[in-house]
Amino acid sequence: MVQHRLFMKNDIRTGWCRTTPLWGRGLSMQLTGADDRLHDCRARTVLEAIMWHGYSKQSDAYRATEKFYHLSKEDRKAVIKFTESI
Protein backbone atom coordinates (compact mmCIF):
# COMPACT_ATOMS: atom_id res chain seq x y z
CA MET A 1 0.00 0.00 0.00
CA VAL A 2 1.20 3.47 -0.79
CA GLN A 3 0.28 6.92 0.34
CA HIS A 4 -0.61 9.72 -2.02
CA ARG A 5 -1.77 13.30 -1.73
CA LEU A 6 -5.11 14.47 -3.12
CA PHE A 7 -5.26 18.07 -1.83
CA MET A 8 -9.04 17.83 -1.41
CA LYS A 9 -11.15 20.58 0.09
CA ASN A 10 -11.73 20.14 3.85
CA ASP A 11 -9.10 17.41 4.04
CA ILE A 12 -8.39 16.65 7.71
CA ARG A 13 -5.45 14.41 6.79
CA THR A 14 -3.27 17.25 5.46
CA GLY A 15 -3.68 15.83 1.98
CA TRP A 16 -2.18 12.38 2.57
CA CYS A 17 -4.29 9.28 1.90
CA ARG A 18 -3.47 5.59 2.09
CA THR A 19 -4.34 3.65 -1.02
CA THR A 20 -6.73 0.99 0.22
CA PRO A 21 -7.26 -2.32 -1.55
CA LEU A 22 -10.15 -2.34 -4.01
CA TRP A 23 -10.76 -6.09 -3.92
CA GLY A 24 -14.06 -6.87 -2.29
CA ARG A 25 -15.45 -3.39 -2.86
CA GLY A 26 -17.83 -4.74 -5.48
CA LEU A 27 -19.67 -6.64 -2.75
CA SER A 28 -20.03 -3.62 -0.48
CA MET A 29 -23.55 -2.68 -1.58
CA GLN A 30 -24.78 -6.27 -1.41
CA LEU A 31 -23.30 -7.03 1.99
CA THR A 32 -23.62 -3.74 3.87
CA GLY A 33 -26.06 -1.66 1.87
CA ALA A 34 -23.40 1.06 1.61
CA ASP A 35 -21.54 2.02 -1.53
CA ASP A 36 -19.38 4.75 -0.02
CA ARG A 37 -16.02 5.13 -1.69
CA LEU A 38 -12.73 6.92 -1.16
CA HIS A 39 -10.54 6.91 1.94
CA ASP A 40 -13.07 8.89 3.97
CA CYS A 41 -16.29 7.67 2.30
CA ARG A 42 -17.07 11.10 0.85
CA ALA A 43 -17.67 9.63 -2.62
CA ARG A 44 -21.02 7.93 -3.17
CA THR A 45 -20.02 6.17 -6.39
CA VAL A 46 -16.93 4.89 -8.17
CA LEU A 47 -17.21 7.78 -10.63
CA GLU A 48 -17.23 10.32 -7.79
CA ALA A 49 -14.22 8.65 -6.19
CA ILE A 50 -12.27 8.83 -9.43
CA MET A 51 -13.18 12.46 -10.00
CA TRP A 52 -12.30 13.46 -6.40
CA HIS A 53 -8.75 12.31 -7.19
CA GLY A 54 -8.54 15.14 -9.71
CA TYR A 55 -9.92 17.85 -7.42
CA SER A 56 -6.59 19.67 -7.40
CA LYS A 57 -3.90 19.92 -10.05
CA GLN A 58 -1.47 19.26 -7.19
CA SER A 59 -3.03 15.82 -6.63
CA ASP A 60 -0.74 12.87 -7.26
CA ALA A 61 -3.62 11.34 -9.27
CA TYR A 62 -4.54 14.40 -11.32
CA ARG A 63 -3.13 13.07 -14.62
CA ALA A 64 -4.84 9.68 -14.19
CA THR A 65 -8.14 11.42 -13.48
CA GLU A 66 -7.67 13.64 -16.52
CA LYS A 67 -7.01 10.58 -18.70
CA PHE A 68 -10.15 8.90 -17.34
CA TYR A 69 -12.17 12.03 -18.09
CA HIS A 70 -11.03 11.98 -21.72
CA LEU A 71 -11.93 8.32 -22.28
CA SER A 72 -14.96 7.55 -24.40
CA LYS A 73 -18.22 7.08 -22.49
CA GLU A 74 -18.09 3.34 -23.16
CA ASP A 75 -14.53 3.06 -21.83
CA ARG A 76 -15.40 5.04 -18.69
CA LYS A 77 -18.35 2.72 -18.10
CA ALA A 78 -16.06 -0.29 -18.57
CA VAL A 79 -13.58 1.04 -15.97
CA ILE A 80 -16.41 1.64 -13.50
CA LYS A 81 -17.96 -1.77 -14.17
CA PHE A 82 -14.60 -3.46 -13.62
CA THR A 83 -13.98 -1.57 -10.38
CA GLU A 84 -17.44 -2.48 -9.10
CA SER A 85 -16.86 -6.14 -9.95
CA ILE A 86 -13.71 -6.70 -7.88
pLDDT in tens, 52-63: 877 778 777 889
Confidence of residue 77 (pLDDT cuts 50, 70, 90): very high
Please state, in angstroms and as integers, the Cα–Cα distance from residue 8 to each residue in 1, 3, 12, 48, 71, following that order.
20, 14, 9, 13, 23
Q: 19 pLDDT exceeds 70?
A: no
What's the domain range around 31? 3-85
Mean pLDDT, range 30-58, rounded to an integer: 78
The answer to whether 61 touches 54, Cβ cutoff 8 Å, is yes
In this prediction the pTM is 0.69
| Domain total of the chain | 1
Confidence of residue 66 (pLDDT cuts 50, 70, 90): very high
Q: What is the pLDDT of residue 7?
A: 66
Residue 25's closest CA among 5, 3, 43?
A: 43
Determine the distance from the C-alpha atom of residue 64 to the mean position of all C-alpha atoms in its chain, rounded to a whole number: 11
